C-alpha cells in the first residue's frame, strides 16, 4: 500500500516535471503542464496512477501551506482599509454570479438541483491559483491584489453558509447555519487567544533555533487545520487563520522562506490531481464546459467591474481584479463532490465543474500575465464613453506646474520620499494610478494626480517635462508596461530641463542609466548597506542607544505616511 503511494507520487512528479519543461519550452504556463500530466497518467488517461485519492489528499497540504503563507504575508491594517470595498464587491459578485449561473445552466438544459449546484459552484474563485499568480508577479500588495484577495476571503466566509446548508437542502433548518457561524467565530477567537498569550512565550524559548521555529509554526498550522475540520470548515480556512494569527511575529519572514519549497511541491501535486479528475464522456460535455468557462470569465467582469467603479475604485482596479478572479475554484469541486455524496447531483455535473476549473485555471494564467497590456488596450476605449480609469480623472485636470518636483509612483520608496520632502517644506507632485493612495495624499494636502506612468502619452499630457526634478521611485520588479530605462530615455528625449532620478536593481543597470543621461540612480540595496555600515561604524564609539532613539523618533514621524 505504501509502496503504491510512493510510486504514485513519483510518477506524478516525473510526469509534471516533463510536461512543465515542455510547457516552458513552448512558452506556456507551467500549470498547463501539471494539469496535462494528471490527465495523461490518471485513471481516465493511460492509467499509470489508478488511485488518485492519495494524490488528492497530499495536494491538500499544498493548499494548506499556500494559505498559511498568505496569512503570514497579510498586512491586516491594509486589508482593514480596503475591507469594506472587498466585502461589498464580494457579496455582490457571489450573489449575482450564482443567479446568473443558475439561469445559464437552465438555458443549457439543466434543471432543479443540477442548475442550483452549477450556479453556486461557479460563483467561487480559486484562492490557490489567484494567490500563486499574483504572488509570482509581485502584485499581492497592490490595490487590485488586495481587493482580489479580500473578495476571496468574503467568498470563503460565504462558503460557510453553503457547507452548512448542503446537508439540509431537503429539510432546511436555521440551527445548522447558526452553529457553523458560531463555530467560525470560536475558531478565530481561539487562534487570537493562543497567539496572544501562549505562542509568544513558546517562540521566545526556541528563537535561537531556526529549525524549531519552523517546526512550531507548521505545528500551529496543523493544529488550526485540525480544529477547522472539527468545526466543519476547510483545511485552507484553518491554515489562513493560523498564518494571520502569527503574521506580526518577528519570525514570520523566515518561516515563509522555508515553507515555500514545501508549498511548491504539494501545489504541483494539487494541479496533477486536478487533471486526474477529468472524465470526458462525450463531446457535448466538453462544449458545455467551454460555454460555462466563458460564462465564468464574463460574469466576473460584469459583476466586479461596475461594482468597483461605483465604489470609486476606478475601472482599472475593477478590470484587473475581474481578470484575476476569472476562474472556477477548487472549492467548487468540494461542493460538487459533497453534492454527489448526498445524491443531489450526478457524476456528470462533477465532471462538468472539473472541466470548467481546468479550462479557466489555464486561461487565467494568460489573462493575469497580460492583464496590464489588456488594460492599456481596453480602458482608453471605455474612456471614450466616459468611463474613466479613476474618478480622480473626472475631478481635475493634470497639469505639471513649471519647476515642480514630480514623484512617479507612491509605493514603498515613493511614500517615504514624499513624507520626508514634505516634512522639509518641499512641495511635490505625485503621479500614481492607485485611487486610495491619491485620496490619502490629497487629504494630507499633497498635490497628487492620476497618471499611468507606463503610458508616455499620459506623461506628455501631464506636462512632465515642465518639472525641475522627476524621480522614478518604483523598481522594474513592480513596473508593468515600461521600465526605468525607458522612462529615462523618454523624459530626456523631451528636451526639457528636468533632472531625472531613476531606480536600478544592480550596479550594471545603474551604469547603463548614467550613460543614458540619468542625473542620479537610486540603488536601494547599496544605499541601505552604506547607511547600516555608517551606523555600525559610529556606534563602535558612541554605542547604539542614540542611533536607536533617533531612528525611533524618525519612524514615529513617518507612521502616517501613505
Looking at residue 101, its pLDDT comes to 93
Inter-residue contact 467 to 445 (CB < 8 Å): no
* Grid coordinates belonging to 333: 469541486
Q: Which of 104, 107, 145 is nearest to 121 (CA)?
A: 104
Which residue matches cell numbers 529615462? 488
Sign of the alpha-carbon dihedral angle for 61, 62, 68, 71: negative
Helix (H) or strand (E) holding 334: helix 330-341
Cα–Cα distances (Å) from 93 to 75, 86, 298, in that order, read: 24, 10, 12
Per-residue pLDDT in tens (0 to 9) along the chain, 562 residues? 456 778 888 888 899 999 989 888 877 767 778 888 888 888 777 888 877 666 666 667 766 776 787 677 665 665 565 568 888 999 999 999 999 999 999 999 998 888 999 999 899 998 778 887 887 777 777 778 888 888 987 887 777 677 656 656 666 566 766 776 777 788 888 888 888 888 888 888 887 787 888 888 889 888 988 888 887 776 777 887 888 888 777 766 777 777 777 777 877 887 787 778 677 777 788 899 999 999 999 999 999 999 988 888 878 888 999 999 998 887 787 778 777 777 788 878 888 888 888 889 888 888 888 888 888 788 878 877 777 766 555 455 556 667 788 998 888 788 888 888 888 888 889 988 777 788 888 888 888 888 878 777 778 777 787 888 999 988 887 787 788 988 888 888 887 788 899 999 888 899 999 998 899 999 988 888 888 888 888 888 888 888 788 888 877 776 666 6
Q: Please report which residue ranges of 248-346 form alpha helices under DSSP H.
A: 252-276, 283-310, 315-324, 330-341
Cα–Cα distances (Å) from 124 to 9, 61, 203, in that order, read: 29, 20, 37
Q: Which of 406, 411, 499, 478 is nearest to 446 (CA)?
A: 406
Can you spell out the DSSP letters for 221-254? HHHHHHHHHHTT--HHHHHHHHHHHTTTSTTHHH
Helix (H) or strand (E) holding 410: none
Using DSSP's 3-state secondary structure scheme, residue 379 falls into helix
CA distance 260 to 136: 12
State the virtual CA torsion across 17, 23, 24, 28 in degrees, nearest 10.
Answer: -140
State the virtual CA torsion across 296, 299, 301, 307 in degrees, nearest 10.
Answer: -140
Maximum C-alpha span of the chain: 82
pTM: 0.70
How many C-beta atoms surround the C-beta of residue 13 within 10 A? 15
Can you spell out the DSSP letters for 134-146? HHHTT-TTSHHHH
DSSP state of 452: -
Sign of the alpha-carbon dihedral angle for 188, 191, 194, 199: negative
Q: Which of 222, 261, 282, 227 is nearest to 68 (CA)?
A: 222
Using DSSP's 3-state secondary structure scheme, residue 36 falls into helix
Inter-residue contact 158 to 91 (CB < 8 Å): yes
Structural domains of the chain, with CATH? 2-381 (1.20.1530.20), 391-558 (3.40.50.720)
Can you spell out the DSSP letters for 169-186? SSS--HHHHHHHHHHHHH
Amino acid at each position: 500500500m505504501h509502496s503504491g503511494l510512493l510510486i504514485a507520487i513519483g510518477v506524478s512528479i516525473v510526469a509534471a516535471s516533463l510536461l512543465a519543461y515542455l510547457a516552458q519550452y513552448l512558452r506556456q504556463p507551467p500549470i498547463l503542464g501539471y494539469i496535462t500530466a494528471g490527465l495523461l497518467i490518471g485513471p481516465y488517461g493511460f492509467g499509470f496512477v489508478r488511485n488518485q485519492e492519495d494524490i488528492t489528499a497530499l495536494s491538500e497540504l499544498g493548499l494548506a501551506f499556500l494559505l498559511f503563507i498568505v496569512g503570514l504575508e497579510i498586512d491586516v491594517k491594509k486589508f482593514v482599509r480596503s475591507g469594506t470595498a472587498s466585502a461589498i464587491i464580494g457579496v455582490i459578485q457571489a450573489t449575482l454570479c450564482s443567479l446568473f449561473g443558475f439561469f445559464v445552466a437552465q438555458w443549457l438544459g439543466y434543471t432543479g438541483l443540477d442548475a442550483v449546484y452549477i450556479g453556486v459552484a461557479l460563483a467561487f474563485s480559486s484562492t490557490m491559483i489567484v494567490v500563486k499568480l499574483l504572488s509570482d508577479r509581485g502584485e499581492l500588495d497592490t490595490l487590485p491584489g488586495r481587493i482580489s484577495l479580500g473578495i476571496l476571503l468574503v467568498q470563503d466566509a460565504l462558503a460557510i453558509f453553503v457547507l452548512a446548508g448542503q446537508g439540509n437542502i431537503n429539510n432546511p433548518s436555521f440551527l445548522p447555519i447558526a452553529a457553523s457561524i458560531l463555530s467560525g467565530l470560536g475558531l478565530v477567537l481561539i487562534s487570537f487567544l493562543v497567539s496572544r498569550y501562549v505562542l509568544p512565550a513558546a517562540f521566545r524559548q526556541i528563537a535561537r533555533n531556526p529549525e524549531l521555529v519552523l517546526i512550531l509554526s507548521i505545528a500551529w498550522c496543523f493544529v488550526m487545520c485540525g480544529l477547522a475540520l472539527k468545526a466543519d470548515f476547510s483545511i485552507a480556512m484553518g491554515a489562513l487563520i493560523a498564518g494571520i494569527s502569527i503574521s506580526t511575529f518577528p519570525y514570520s519572514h523566515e518561516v515563509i522562506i522555508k515553507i515555500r519549497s514545501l508549498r511548491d511541491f504539494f501545489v504541483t501535486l494539487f494541479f496533477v490531481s486536478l487533471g486526474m479528475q477529468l472524465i470526458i464522456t462525450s463531446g457535448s460535455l466538453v462544449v458545455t464546459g467551454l460555454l460555462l468557462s466563458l460564462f465564468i470569465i464574463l460574469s466576473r467582469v460584469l459583476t466586479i467591474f461596475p461594482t468597483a467603479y461605483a465604489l470609486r475604485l476606478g475601472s482599472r482596479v475593477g478590470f484587473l481584479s475581474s481578470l484575476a478572479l476569472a476562474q472556477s475554484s477548487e472549492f467548487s469541486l468540494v461542493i460538487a463532490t459533497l453534492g454527489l455524496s448526498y445524491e443531489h447531483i450526478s457524476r456528470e455535473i462533477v465532471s462538468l465543474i472539473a472541466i470548467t476549473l481546468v479550462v479557466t485555471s489555464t486561461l487565467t494564467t494568460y489573462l493575469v500575465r497580460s492583464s496590464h497590456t489588456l488594460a492599456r488596450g481596453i480602458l482608453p476605449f471605455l474612456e471614450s464613453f466616459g468611463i474613466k480609469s479613476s474618478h480622480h480623472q473626472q475631478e481635475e485636470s493634470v497639469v505639471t506646474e513649471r519647476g515642480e518636483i514630480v514623484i512617479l509612483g507612491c509605493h514603498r520608496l515613493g511614500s517615504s520620499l514624499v513624507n520626508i520632502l514634505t516634512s522639509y517644506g518641499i512641495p511635490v507632485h505625485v503621479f500614481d494610478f492607485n485611487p486610495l493612495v491619491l485620496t490619502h495624499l490629497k487629504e494630507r494636502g499633497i498635490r497628487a494626480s492620476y497618471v499611468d506612468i507606463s503610458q508616455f502619452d499620459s506623461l506628455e499630457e501631464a506636462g512632465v517635462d515642465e518639472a525641475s526634478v522627476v524621480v522614478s521611485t518604483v523598481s522594474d520588479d513592480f513596473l508593468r508596461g515600461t521600465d526605468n530605462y525607458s522612462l529615462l530615455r523618454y523624459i530626456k528625449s523631451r528636451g526639457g530641463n528636468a533632472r531625472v532620478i531613476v531606480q536600478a536593481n544592480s550596479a550594471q543597470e545603474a551604469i547603463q542609466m548614467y550613460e543614458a543621461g540619468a542625473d542620479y540612480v537610486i540603488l536601494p540595496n547599496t544605499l541601505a548597506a552604506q547607511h547600516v555600515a555608517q551606523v555600525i561604524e559610529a556606534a563602535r564609539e558612541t554605542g547604539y542607544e542614540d542611533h536607536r532613539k533617533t531612528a525611533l523618533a524618525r519612524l514615529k514621524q513617518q507612521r502616517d505616511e501613505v
